[in-house]
Amino acid sequence: QVQLVESGGDSVQAGGSLRLSCAASGYPFSMFCMGWFRQAPGKKREEVATIDAYGTSTYADDVKGRFTISRDNAKNTLYLQMSSLKSEDTAVYYCARDLGGYCPQPGLHNAFPYWGQGTQVTVSS
């Protein structure tokens, strides 16, 4: 079955960097769109970045230029490199897999049906 396991979350100072990883198993990783999402306390879950099976990535406006999503298909691993972190980046970060190779439009119902357990990122100012 599909398994997604995030790691790399930590507590950092504002302006710092972190790299999150998501180890995938149970399916042909290279064939599917993957995404990073986050949920801060009291807020709705939001899409952070996606990368399709062909290497095309998208970013939420508030992380553009600071975060980079990438994938290593040989290692079945998804990454999120985060830099210039801000206190508002504090959240639980989740990786997720969609049903196809191309990534869906943000907010599409029933998109990304597979999720990891999440990893906590805390940014202190």
Using one digit for the tens of pLDDT, what is the confidence trace for 31-83?
999 999 999 999 999 999 999 999 999 999 999 999 999 999 999 999 999 99
Half-sphere exposure of 97 (CA within 13 A, CB side): 28
pLDDT of residue 105: 87
pLDDT of residue 64: 98
Average pLDDT, the chain: 96
User: What value does the mean pLDDT take over residues 86-100?
Assistant: 97
CA-to-CA separations, 50 to 3, 66, 84, 92, in angstroms, rounded: 18, 14, 19, 17
For residue 13, pLDDT beyond 90: yes
User: What value does the mean pLDDT take over residues 3-7?
Assistant: 98
DSSP, collapsed to helix, strand or coil, labels residue 105 as coil
How is residue 27 written in tokens? 């399916």
How is residue 67 written in tokens? 């975060």
pLDDT of residue 108: 77
- Site of tokens 């099976």: 53
pLDDT of residue 107: 78
In DSSP notation, 11-52 reads: EEETT--EEEEEEEESS-GGGS-EEEEEE-TTS--EEEEEE-
pLDDT of residue 110: 76
